[in-house]
Amino acid sequence: MQDNTEPATALGFGIRYIAGLFDGDGCIFLNRAMPTEKTIARGEVSPKYQLMCSLANIYKPVVLKFQAKFGGLVVPRNAQNTRQRTAWYWAVTARRSVNFLEKISPYLFIKKEQAKIALDYHRTCIRDVYIGGKGGNPPLSIDEIAMRERYFLMLQMAKRREWPVI
């Protein structure tokens, strides 16, 4: 049965199909990078948190369609032994992650709570202005770091949630 709420895309996938693939094979996470001696020397003393979405699949055309529709990067993840196959890894960060999650979140089931946390994180914690230049943005306040860390932990806990038997 054709879904009349969304036209077929030029890529051959509708947004519901994309959401279903991502629900099973995707990942939503906040990458946390703590300051190093090198970054501290440059004046970057705050940890950095970056929202990321990724998908891994052994069928490269699927991953390339995600990249064509949502941008991002595609790289191979080589097999670790002869019983494994090379997987293809797609990832988007920051605003592209937000754009991606806003489009697919109404159709998520498994990752719906994670998507909500990630989108709340972006609305609550991300500054609208990037100062740029040497050192990037000014350091985060203690309150900003605490809030970002709470979202980091909430997202980790949502991943560990037990699912009831249906």
The per-residue pLDDT of the chain, averaged, comes to: 86
Listed by start position, the domains of the chain span: 15-159
Strand partners, 89: 56, 75
Structure-token pair, residue 135: 């050192």
Q: How many whole angstroms separate alpha carbon 163 and alpha carbon 141?
A: 37
| pTM of the entire predicted model | 0.82
Give the span between the Cα atoms of 99 and 134, in whole angstroms.
Answer: 28
Tell which CATH architecture fits domain 15-159.
Roll (3.10)
Distance of CA 43 to the CA centre of its chain: 27
CA angle 13, 72, 126 (to 5 degrees): 110
Interval 37-54: pLDDT, tens: 887 777 777 888 999 999
Judge contact between 87 and 58, C-beta under 8 A.
yes
The Cα 11–Cα 69 span in angstroms is 8
pLDDT score, position 136: 61
